[in-house]
Structure 1
Amino acid sequence: MKVDGLWIGQVAMAVLMNVAFAFAVGSALLGAWLANDAQARIAPARPAWLRAQRSMQASAIVLVLADLGWLLYQAAEMAGVRLPEAFGVVPTMLSQTHVGFGWSVAFAGALVLVLVSFARQTNVLRNALLWLAVIAIAGGKAALGHAADAGVASAAIGMHTVHVLTTSVWGGLVLAAGLSVLPALGTSIARGVLIRTATQLSNVSLVAVVFVLLSGVFNAARGAGNSFLAIETSTWGHVLLLKLALVALALVLGGLNRFQALPRLRRTASTMDAHTFSNLLYLEALAMLGVFAAAAVLSHSVPGFAALG
C-alpha cells in the first residue's frame, strides 16, 4: 500500500460511496415509514417525509458521482499512470478485471436507485426495483474489496455483501434520521409520529446490528488470517481497532437511546425527552461517519495476514 495522492483520492471517493449509499438506504426506509402519515399537505409528518425523499435523491446522485470518481482513481492506480491518463485505461479495466465487474454491478444499481428516487408514485414495482438496486449495490461493493480474492461466487463475497447491506441499514437509518429527517419532527404536534418512527428505527437497527456484528467478526477473522498478531502489528489491524472503537461508541449511544431515552419519551412525550433522543441520535450519526471512513481505509489497505507474509 502506497499512501500518495491517488490512494488518498481513492479512499475519499470510497468514503463518499459508503456514506451516500447508507444515506440513501436510510432515507428510503424512513420515507416508507412516514408515507402514510404524510398524505395531507398540512400533516405534521409531511416535512419529515419530504426531507426523506430529498435526502434519498441527493444521496443517490452523490453515489453515482462518487462511483465515477472512484473508478478513475482505481484505473490510475492499477495501471500506474497519472489521473488524466486513466481515462484510456477504464474500458480495459471494466472488461477484463473482477474489479470492473463488481463496479459495473454497483454502478448499474446506483443508476436504478437514482431513477427510482425520482419516481412520482410508490407502488410494488417501484419498491421491488428499489431493493433490487440496493442489493446489487451491496453485492457490487463487496466485490470491490478483499473478499473478491476468494472468488466471485464465494462465502466471503456473500458474507461481505450481508455486512455491507446491514451496515448501510443501521448506519443509514442513524445518518438520515439524525442529520436530516427527525429534526423535522421536533414540533409538539408531530410528537406521536416521532415516537412511532423512533421505535421503528430502534427495532430495525437492533436487528441490523446483530447481522453487522456476526458478519463483521467473519470479515475480521478472515482479514487477520485468524491471527491476533496480524491485528497488533499491521496498519490494517490498527485501522480495524479504530473502526471497532467507533462501532462500540455508536452501540453505546444507540443503547442509551433504546433503553433510556426512548422509553422515557414514550412515557412523557415531552419536548425535553424528544430533544434527548434526537441529540443522542445525532452523536451516533457522527460516530457512524467515522465507521464508514474507517471501513473505506480498511478496504484500500493490505490485509493483516498479507502484511505479515
Structure 2
Amino acid sequence: MDHADGNELFSVFQVLVVARWIHFSSVFVLFGSAFFWFYMDDRRRFAGAGGLPRALHATTVLLRVAAPVAAISGTVWLAGLLANMTNGFGSVIDPEMLRTFFWQTQFGPVAILRLLLLAVAVLVVLLPSQNRAFYSVILHIGALLLINQAWLGHAAEGGAGAYGALMLVVYSIHVLAAGAWVGGLPPLLFALVEQRHFNPSEARDWTLDILSRYSVMAMVAVTLIVASGIANAGFRVGFSFGRLLDSDYGFVLATKAGVVFTMLALAFFNRFIAMPRLRAASTAGMAQIARLRASVAFELVLGLAVLGVAAVLGVTPPPQ
C-alpha cells in the first residue's frame, strides 16, 4: 500500500468515527428524548397545560433538529462503510458498486431499511403537532434505528443460528438502555431549567418528582447497560477476556468503561446525596436545584463523550 492509499484509509476511518458519533448522538435523542415524556406519566405535559410547556417545546425543537442530522450523518456513515469495504471513497459514486452494496451484500437490506426509517423520521418531525402520537412515532422510529444498528457493526459477526441471534439481542438491549439513559438527559435538563419560573416550594416538588421518575428509569437502564456491556465484550473475544489486554480494542473499551463509571458516580451522587439534600431543604432549595442542573449538564457532556468513544470502538477490530 502506498502513502496515498494509507492517507485515504485514514481519512475513511476519521469519517466513520465522526459520522458514527454524530449519528449515534442524534438517534439517541430521537429515542431517549421522546421516551422521557412517557415515563413522566402525566398526559397534561403533552398538551402543555399545567405542566412543562417550555421543556416540551424545547424537546420538540431538539427532535426536529435531530432527525435531519441523523439522516445526513447516517448517510455519511453508510458511505463510509462502503468506502471502508472498498478501500476508498471512489466507490461511493460508482453505480455498479452501489448496486452491489445494496443488493448483493448482507448490509444492503439493513442499509435500505435504515435509510427509509431516517426518511420517515424527517417527514414526521415536519408535522406541526407535539402531542402524544407525535412523540410515540418518533419513539418507535428511534427504537427501530437503534436495533437496526446491530446488523451494521460487530454484533452482526456472530453468523446465523442461536449464537448470532443472541449477540444481536444483547446489542439491541445495550443500545436501547443507553439511549433511554443518555437520550433522556436533554429533556431532563430542559425540565430543570423550567423550574426557574416556578416558586421555590413548587420548584422543589416538581424537581423531586421529575428526578425520581428519571432515576427509576436510569437505574433499570444502567443495570441492563452493565450486564449487556459485559456480554458484548465477551462475545467479541470469545469470553477470553485476557485477549483485551495490550490490544487497541481493549484500550478503547477500557476508556469507554471509565467514562461510563464516571457517569454512574455522578448519577449516584445526584440520586442518593443531592436529592435527599433537596428534599430536606426549605424554600431556599433553589440553590440545590441549580447545582442539580449543573450536574445533569455535566452528565450529558459525559454521555456525549461515551458516544464518541463508542464510535471509535465500533470501527476498532476486536483482538483475535
TM-score by length of 2: 0.85
Percent identity, aligned pairs only, is: 23
Q: 2:291 & 2:130 partners in 1: Cα distance?
A: 35
Instruction: Give CA-to-partner distance per residue, 1:192-245, whole Å, 9 cap, x none.
Output: 433322221111111111111111110011112222332111100000000000
From 51, 54, 70, give the equivalent of 1:47. Answer: 54
**Cα gap change, 1:44 to 1:165, in 2 (>3 Å):** closer
Alignment of 1:222-233 (within 5 A): 222-233=235-246
Q: By how many angstroms is 1:175 displaced? A: 4.3
From 270, 274, 285, give the equivalent of 1:261. Answer: 274
| SS of equivalent residue, structure 2 residue 152 | coil
Q: By how many angstroms is 1:157 displaced? A: 0.8
1:292 aligned partner, one-letter code: L
2:287 match = 272
2:197 aligned partner, one-letter code: T
1:11 match = 17
Larger radius of gyration, structure 1 or 2?
Answer: 2
Q: 2:264 & 2:113 partners in 1: Cα distance?
A: 31
2:313 match = 298
2:179 match = 168
98-107 or 158-167, which moves further after superposition?
98-107
Alignment of 1:75-154 (within 5 A): 75-81=82-88, 83-88=89-94, 89-119=97-127, 120=129, 122-123=131-132, 126=134, 129-151=137-159, 154=165
Q: 2:263 & 2:280 partners in 1: Cα distance?
A: 25
Gaps of 5+ in 1: none
Are the equivalent residues in 2 in contact too, given 1:236–1:301 (CA < 8 A)?
yes
2:151 aligned partner, one-letter code: A
**Cα gap change, 1:261 to 1:243, in 2 (>3 Å):** same
Q: 1:94 & 1:167 partners in 2: Cα distance?
A: 29
| SS of equivalent residue, structure 2 residue 264 | helix
Instruction: Tell me the matched-pair count.
Output: 300
Alignment of 1:171-250 (within 5 A): 171-178=182-189, 180-189=190-199, 191=203, 192-250=205-263
Are the equivalent residues in 1 in contact too, given 2:150–2:172 (CA < 8 A)?
yes
Q: 1:293 & 1:123 partners in 2: Cα distance?
A: 31
Are the equivalent residues in 2 in contact too, given 1:20–1:63 (CA < 8 A)?
yes
Q: By how many angstroms is 1:5 displaced? A: 0.5
**Cα gap change, 1:79 to 1:242, in 2 (>3 Å):** same
Q: By how many angstroms is 1:252 displaced? A: 0.2
Instruction: Give CA-to-partner distance per residue, 1:240-296, whole Å, 9 cap, x none.
Output: 000000010000000001111122223336111101211111111111111111111
**Cα gap change, 1:84 to 1:286, in 2 (>3 Å):** same
Q: 1:35 & 1:223 partners in 2: Cα distance?
A: 43
Are the equivalent residues in 1 in contact too, given 2:59–2:186 (CA < 8 A)?
no
Gaps of 5+ in 2: 1-5
Q: 1:298 & 1:247 partners in 2: Cα distance?
A: 14
246-255 or 158-167, which moves further after superposition?
158-167
Are the equivalent residues in 2 in contact too, given 1:104–1:140 (CA < 8 A)?
no
| SS of equivalent residue, structure 1 residue 149 | helix
Root mean square deviation of aligned Cα: 2.3
Q: 1:202 & 1:118 partners in 2: Cα distance?
A: 31
**Cα gap change, 1:122 to 1:131, in 2 (>3 Å):** same
